[in-house]
Amino acid sequence: MEILMALVIGILFMCATYLMLSKSLLRIIVGTGLLSHGAHLLILTMGSLKRGAVPLLGENASSYTDPIPQALILTAIVISFGVTAFFLVLAYRAYQELGTDNMDKMRGNKGND
């Protein structure tokens, strides 16, 4: 399972990188979204997967899944949402002001080189 997840994470990172390198602002934002998904899964995979019970003491299990990655990811999900929201509104406003979402044209260049 871990190796499979490693491959999935790699694909997520790869797609995210490709999208972030493109010129359209919207694609860049989508790329950052994918990147955070990949990062979350990476953190989770670094601690082992599917070992023990859900980290709730009420389960009375003999062993529990590592709660620390989960706590980290929970924070990261919320932060990445904040960043995405900020980024989206920035793109929207930049488009309103500048009339383009192409990163090259935003600088006043012709772009598309």
Question: Do residues 5 and 45 lie in contact, with contact meaning Cβ atoms separated by under 8 Å?
Answer: yes
The whole-angstrom separation of Cα 44 and Cα 9 is 11
Least separation, in Å, of the C-beta of 43 and other proteins?
Answer: 10
Residues 3-22 that bind other proteins (CB under 8 A): 3-22
- Indicate whether 103 belongs to the interface with other proteins (CB under 8 A): yes
The whole-angstrom separation of Cα 105 and Cα 72 is 38
- Indicate whether 105 belongs to the interface with other proteins (CB under 8 A): no
- Residue 64's φ and ψ, nearest 5 degrees, are -120, 160
Considering only CA atoms, give the Rg of the chain: 19
Residues 41-100 that bind other proteins (CB under 8 A): 41-42, 44-58, 64-68, 70-71, 73-75, 77-79, 81-86, 88-93, 95-100
- State CA 74 to chain mean position distance: 13
Least separation, in Å, of the C-beta of 35 and other proteins?
Answer: 10
Least separation, in Å, of the C-beta of 105 and other proteins?
Answer: 11
Residues 20-39 that bind other proteins (CB under 8 A): 20-30, 33-34, 37-38
Residue 53 β-bridge partners: 64
